[in-house]
Amino acid sequence: MDTERLVIRRFVPEDGEDLYQYLSLPEVVLYEPYPVFSKEDCFREALRRYEEKDNNAFWAVCLKHNNKMIGHLYFKQVELEHFMTWTLGYVFNPNYYSQGYATESARRILQYGFEELHCHRIIAGADIRNTASWRLLERLGMRREAHMLQNATFKRTEDGEPIWVDSYHYAILASEWM
């Protein structure tokens, strides 16, 4: 899939280096359900995403002019087939923040979902502390449907206690898509 400035494609094993450039950063995984990745982890993860391409939910977001991977999208059917509901997620290299790449690529994956996969509903969630994430969802035309209190725990204290966080849940219907 292409946009004006981006190519959105399946992962290839060579994406491990670009993946490492951002998944190794604590500020990038702060709101994610996983810790920072080592270089080895990133190469294994790129290979895993490549090998699962028939049922792969991960899409590499690359600059069109040099094929540099600057982030990735997650787009997967989450409900029973007859509900036609998919979930959207995204993680980007901070060197490419505030340039519209996340909005451009996420808008294209929504278009793909509604126009090619015939999704009925696309959902997304964001930690309420991650203002940039939920503002992106609102720029995409998604509606905030819920403020879930202490509904997720991805991290633990030094004592091993779970850290519960609130999240916002967003959605957009095919009938609402521009």
pLDDT at res. 178? 67
Query: Does residue 1 lie in a domain region?
Result: no
- Domain membership of residue 120 as a residue range: 6-176
Query: Does residue 147 lie in a domain region?
Result: yes
Residue-wise pLDDT tens digits, 35-81: 899 999 999 999 999 988 666 799 999 999 999 999 999 999 986 76
Number of domains present in the structure of the chain = 1
Query: Does residue 57 lie in a domain region?
Result: yes
pLDDT at res. 36? 92
pLDDT at res. 21? 97
Is residue 79 within 8 Å of residue 134, measured between CB atoms? no
| Three-state secondary-structure class, residue 8 | strand
Task: Give the helix/strand (H/E) hosting 12.
Answer: none
Q: What angle do CA 133, 136, 140 make, to 5 degrees?
A: 145
Asked if the model's pLDDT at residue 137 lies above 90, the reply is: yes
Helix-then-strand count for the chain, H and E: 5, 7
Query: Does residue 96 lie in a domain region?
Result: yes
Query: Does residue 172 lie in a domain region?
Result: yes
Please report, for the domain that includes residue 100, its CATH number: 3.40.630.30
Asked if the model's pLDDT at residue 173 lies above 90, the reply is: yes
Q: Is the pTM of this model over 0.85?
A: yes
Determine how many CB atoms are found less than 10 A away from the CB of residue 17.
12
Query: Does residue 148 lie in a domain region?
Result: yes
pLDDT at res. 46? 94
